[in-house]
Amino acid sequence: MTDVFHPSTDLAPSASHGHEQVVFCQDRQSGLRAIIAIYSTALGPSLGGTRFYPYPDEGTALADVLNLSRAMAYKNALAGLDHGGGKAVIIGDPATHKSEALLRAYGRFIESLGGRYITACDIGTYSEDMDIIARESGHVTGRTVPNGGAGDSSVLTAFGVFQGMRAAAEQRWGSPSLEGRLVGVEGVGKVGRRLVALLAGAGASAVICDVDPGA
């Protein structure tokens, strides 16, 4: 639990990124390899989801978490939340690497940050995973409804994207209607597939793509 994996020196986060803290986590017993990035806590504890993804190398994972955590700071500020920006990535294929032991080890790392980072769902993680992480840390949101959470946040995320499209349509074409419009959707996972359903219900057509043929 105390082990930390270190990227090569050329992967060390640059000071130009402006992050307050970047934590590299490893638990050999469960196979956990994760990076937690806290961009800012100026407005409050950093908030951002945990992405579970088969990154090709640590450098790619680090670049992703640095960019995502920085974006979360702006996202939370624009939403008027009392939260700073943070994000985490777990390196591995969730279909084969995810386990209760791994998620609980990850939860212990989150807890060790003393509330500076609050996690939630993202690509490759679900409300049920948050329930497991919450067994080790109180700094978790997005839990299942039976366990006191709000459930799957992708429902609201897709609805928010849909409403954003309607607002953009009104700005561009003078009407919020998407009927007859052709929309490109990149990624049809938890959010994208719900967005496609909303678009179809509004009379729009969609062209979709995804790195997962099954999706």
Query: Which active-site residues does the annotation give?
Result: 87
**DSSP label at 37?**
E
Which of 3, 43, 51, 48 is CA-nearest to residue 23? Answer: 3
CA 135 to centroid of chain Cα atoms? 20
- Strand locations in 92-179 (E): 117-118
DSSP reduced 3-state for 140: strand
CA–CA distance, 154 with 167 (Å, rounded to integer) = 20
Rounded to 5, what percent of the chain is helix, strand, coil? 40, 20, 40
Phi/psi-derived region of residue 205, left when phi > 0, alpha when psi is between -120 and 50, beta in every other case = beta
CA 58 to centroid of chain Cα atoms? 17
